Amino acid sequence: MRLYKECLSCGKELIGRIDKKYCDPQCKSAHQYEREKKQPERFYNKVDNQLRLNRRILKQYNKAGKATVRSKILKKEGFNPNFFTHYWKNKKGDVYLFVYEFGFLKTTERNIEKYVLINWQDYMTTNN
């Protein structure tokens, strides 16, 4: 008495074990990939993916340790300023948001939105 008569992926007749579901490892992998692709993206994965994208973009545009970039350039690349890991407040009261070791501060110069990009430094402890 066989549980499955055909491969769940390709539909071929199954030969062998009674509880066999797939004809080979490739069909098993393909079926699981398709099944996973149909499920909605999990919240944790969405947040993690955006943080990794933000980090990559900030690293790309901040090679020297400090830079100023127009916000529309970063946003065009997929940067989302609502996703960050922590913040740091300087003595002037400016709050830099950080994505791991790369920080950014939103500013406006001559009605143009920009981000000041910095790298985390040892003096930026949370004990300020």
Tell me the per-residue pLDDT of 8-54, one tens digit each, with 9 for 90 and over.
999 999 988 888 999 999 999 999 998 888 877 788 889 999 999 99
Distance CA 17, CA 4 (A): 10
CA dihedral of residues 44, 48, 54, 57 (deg, nearest 10): -150
Q: What is the pLDDT of residue 126?
A: 57
Q: What is the pLDDT of residue 128?
A: 47
Residue 19: Cβ within 10 Å count: 9
| Model pLDDT for residues 86-110, shown as the tens digit of each residue | 999 999 999 999 999 999 999 999 9
Average pLDDT over residues 73-96: 96
